[in-house]
Amino acid sequence: MYFYKLNIINEMTTINKEEIQKFSNLADEWWDEKGKFKPLHMFNPIRLEYIVEKIKQHFALEGKKQNLLENLKILDIGCGGGLISEPMARLGAIVKGIDASEKNINVAKIHAERSNLKIDYKKNSPEELNTNEKFDIILNLEVVEHVDNLEIYLKSCSNLLKKDGLIFTATLNRTFTSYLKAIIGAEYILRWLPIGTHDWNKFLKPEELEKKMLNNNLKTLDIKGLEFNPIISKWKKSDNLSVNYIICSTKN
């Protein structure tokens, strides 16, 4: 996970140290599929399916069999332990993963080395990166609901994305349903997440997020809901945007 707060006194940064510490405390459990990140491991396959599907369509890779993402540069913001970075690297992409938690980055580096994967992991915020380095794809997953200054964050993302590149933004809608499911259900009843992981007031309605992204030259191409089926314990793509959703956008 990756978190931000505007600090004008020292330098232009959007890092929120309290939020970073919250997830740093869980860093050792990133790759434990039965541990505290179990919900994210369950969530990962449907995110990957959607992301790869849209990349194939946008970059005309439909007929490609091996090294599907070869030569595509991907920036994974808030990479955590590398749950998304690693599958992208296995598909042949050139991956940079950044996170404001040094502990998360260390975990990611060790796991990538054990998996024989070459991934450039750095303890950075997007505004700290050199904007001369542009990316074909930016992964912005479960980040914006923790951002204090969304405008600066999205501007940084836009500056790092190539023209006609893709950015994937996954977050939660601010609805009564999301409060019941993502906060009361996931945190208090099922205990899938530590209590206090999310602040419902920071959830964003799709139209709010799309407008902010458009202000930064990021135009929506597609939006899908991601819905959990408790009977089979699997996630699926859906037209229901009331809780989790993902937006695929391109830079004008």
Tell how many helices (H) and how many strands (E) occur in the chain: 7, 8
DSSP state of 200: G
> What domains sit in the chain, N to C, each tagged with a CATH number?
17-251 (3.40.50.150)
Secondary structure class of 210 (helix, strand, coil): helix
Of 66, 64, 109, 67, the C-alpha closest to 86 is: 109
Check whether 240 has a pLDDT greater than 50: yes
Query: What pLDDT score was predicted for residue 63?
Result: 73
* Average pLDDT for 61-88: 91
SS (H, E, C) 79-135: CCCCCCHHHHHHCCCEEEEEECCHHHHHHHHHHHHHCCCCCEEEECCHHHCCCCCCE
CA dihedral 223, 226, 86, 199 (to 10 degrees): 100
The pTM of the full predicted model, rounded to 2 decimals, is: 0.86
Rounded CA-CA distance 139/125 in Å is 13
pLDDT tens, residue by residue, 131-148: 999 999 999 999 998 877
Q: Which of 16-30, 136-150, 238-252 has the highest mean pLDDT?
A: 238-252
* Average pLDDT for 195-202: 83
pLDDT tens, residue by residue, 79-134: 999 999 999 999 999 999 999 888 899 999 999 999 999 999 999 989 999 999 99
At residue 9, what is the residue type? I
Average pLDDT, the chain: 87
